[in-house]
Amino acid sequence: MIPAKNMFIAMVSTISASLIAHAADIGQPAPDFSTKDAKGAEVSLAKLKGKVVVLEWVNHGCPFVVKHYGSQNMQKLQESYTSKGVVWITINSGSKTSGSFTDDATFIKMSEEKGSKATHLVADETGVIGKSYGAKTTPHMIVITAEGVLAYNGAIDSKKSTNAADIAGAENYVAKALDEVLAGKPVTTSKTEPYGCGVKY
């Protein structure tokens, strides 16, 4: 077994090896991507122009994700906004060697068991999509306008915790941003620091 101290040194030495991008900029075109979802359907951001899009980074083993799925908070958000025509893409950027990677069949099964109402599930095991958006945590939330412009980048809500009891008193930044985008209004809180487990690239 590698002593813990040595592993930390190894981790620090990889800093320059795999830097993720600076968080994508608000008001700028959202980084494009084209991929297959877990069911084999094509997902292309460029082809989703005309639709408001949500990107949600997930890892069902992460306590912060468990907080929002165990409480049905995430599923309610998904249901509420996909019913208004929003395209919701749940992304797992965990690499194949990480504990958070799941193959497509498992990803679908886990999401169905949790009652996910996401439009697409995307396994981004190379991390290309995650890094282009600077996705740091699970969850990490992005809202893209129908014109393909980045409107919100950050946390799901204002209470950084793993405790589901904190959801009721938290400000849900994603719901607020989506309400504003759907109403054609500027987003008042467009960038917050995401909280959660690190994305296991």
Residues at the interface with other proteins (CB under 8 A) = 1-5, 7-8, 11-12, 14-15, 18-20, 22-23, 59, 61-64, 66, 97-100, 127, 136-137, 160-163, 191-193, 195-201
Sheet holding 87-92, edge to edge: 120-123, 87-92, 53-57, 141-144, 150-154
59/145 with CB nearer other proteins: 59
Closest distance of CB 72 from other proteins, Å: 19
Q: Which is nearer to other proteins, 166 or 179 (CB)?
A: 166
Least distance CB 64 / other proteins (angstroms): 8
CB-wise, 11 or 168, nearer to other proteins?
A: 11
3 state SS of 43: strand
Q: What is the smallest separation between the CB atom of 22 and other proteins, expressed in angstroms?
A: 7
Minimum gap (Å) between residue 172 Cβ and other proteins: 18
Nearer to other proteins, 37 or 124 (CB): 124
DSSP label at residue 47: G
Count other C-beta atoms under 10 Å from residue 59's C-beta.
25
Distance in Å, CB of 101 to other proteins, minimum: 9
Q: How far is CA 59 from the centre of its chain?
A: 9
The smaller minimum CB distance to other proteins, of residues 65 and 86, is found at 65
User: Residues with Cβ < 8 Å from 86, sequence gap 6 or more?
Assistant: 51, 52, 53, 54, 178, 182
Q: How far is it, in rounded angstroms, from Cα 12 to Cα 10?
A: 6
